[in-house]
């Protein structure tokens, strides 16, 4: 059949009816790139960061080859789910937040990797897990101002996350930050947004979610901070501690009356400068 089709093409004839030309093979699908594994060797772990020209322009940085901009890691929360440990925070310059950061370890802190994509101009500050599979991390855009609060939602124990805005899918930004949030069940969560001084209308807004944080509805507004029916109890087993002497953040686990360092993360990252 192939010889007949080729002959017809060479002779300028049409391909006989009933003979279909075979489509070209589809190109192979690109291989997904896994985040690098960060190994705890006893020295502070350095989170990889390579500043792009877009990062410099978006953050409004004035960086040069001769005078690069210092970049820092900040960790704000740590939580554990079974054998998995999660640490949340952000990457920032001396004046501007550049990206969120969410790190996870499945081997007690020996190795780490980023478990959620970085969100430009935003930071993460709280983590709650309801059960071994369902959890949330709260955050908001911090650059150039605090606005558009959101939650990262996981239903597979922190392996994958998806971003869900508190204010919905509106294209217009709104000022505000999440002061606290808490889920009593998958279908029952609440949070408080502080819209800041000078905001239009009442400063504080109480939101509730009936679907594990997939969407939120405002239930109450006030100029005084409302109270959640229940609030998250700070972890007594895990903490993040800044150590000025070593310029690192210590992820620590409590054992009895003592706090033991599980992993340390370097505060200073690779500086920003125009790419070559």
Mind listing the pLDDT tens digit for each residue in 197-237? 877 789 999 999 999 999 999 999 999 999 898 776 667 79
Token pair listed for 244: 């000025």
List the single range of 6-20, 37-51, 142-156, 248-262 with lowest mean pLDDT: 6-20
- Tell me what pLDDT residue 85 has: 95
- Tell me what pLDDT residue 33 has: 62
- Residue 31 pLDDT > 70: no
- Tell me what pLDDT residue 15 has: 47
What's the average model confidence in pLDDT over 64-81? 95
Tokens 């033991």 label which residue? 260
Token pair listed for 61: 């940085």
Question: Phi-psi region for residue 118, left (φ > 0), alpha (ψ -120 to 50) or beta?
Answer: beta
- Residue 157 pLDDT > 50: yes
Please, which pLDDT band fits residue 21 given cuts at 50, 70 and 90?
low
Buried b (16+ CB within 10 A) or exposed e, 105-138: bbeebeebebbbeebebbbbbbbbbbeeebbbbb
Please, which pLDDT band fits residue 6 given cuts at 50, 70 and 90?
very low
Tokens 């990889």 label which residue? 48
List the single range of 30-39, 59-68, 82-91, 110-119 with lowest mean pLDDT: 30-39
- Tell me what pLDDT residue 199 has: 77
């Amino acid at each position: 059949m192939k010889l007949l089709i080729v002959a017809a093409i060479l002779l300028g004839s049409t391909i006989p009816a009933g003979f279909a030309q075979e489509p070209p093979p589809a190109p192979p699908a690109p291989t997904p790139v896994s985040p690098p594994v960060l190994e705890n060797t006893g020295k502070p772990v350095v989170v990889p960061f390579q500043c792009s020209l877009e990062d410099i322009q978006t953050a409004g940085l004035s960086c040069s080859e001769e005078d690069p901009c210092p970049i820092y890691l900040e960790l704000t929360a740590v939580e554990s789910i079974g054998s998995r440990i999660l640490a949340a925070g952000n990457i920032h310059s001396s004046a501007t937040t550049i990206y969120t950061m969410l790190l996870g370890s499945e081997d007690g802190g020996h190795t780490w990797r980023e478990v959620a994509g970085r969100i430009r101009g935003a930071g993460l500050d709280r983590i709650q897990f309801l059960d071994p599979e369902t959890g949330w991390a709260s955050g908001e855009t911090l650059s150039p101002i605090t606005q558009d609060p959101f939650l990262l939602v996981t239903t597979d124990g922190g392996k994958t996350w998806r971003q869900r805005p508190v204010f919905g899918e509106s294209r217009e930004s709104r000022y505000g930050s999440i002061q606290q949030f808490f889920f009593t069940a998958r279908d029952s969560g609440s949070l408080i947004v502080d819209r800041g001084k000078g905001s239009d209308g009442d400063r504080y807004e109480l939101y509730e979610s009936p679907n594990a944080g997939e969407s939120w509805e405002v239930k109450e507004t006030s100029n005084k901070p409302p109270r959640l029916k229940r609030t998250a109890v700070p972890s007594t087993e895990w903490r993040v501690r800044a150590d000025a002497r070593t310029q690192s953040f210590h992820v620590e686990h409590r054992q009895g009356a003592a706090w033991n360092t599980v992993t340390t993360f370097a505060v200073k990252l690779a500086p920003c400068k125009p790419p070559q």
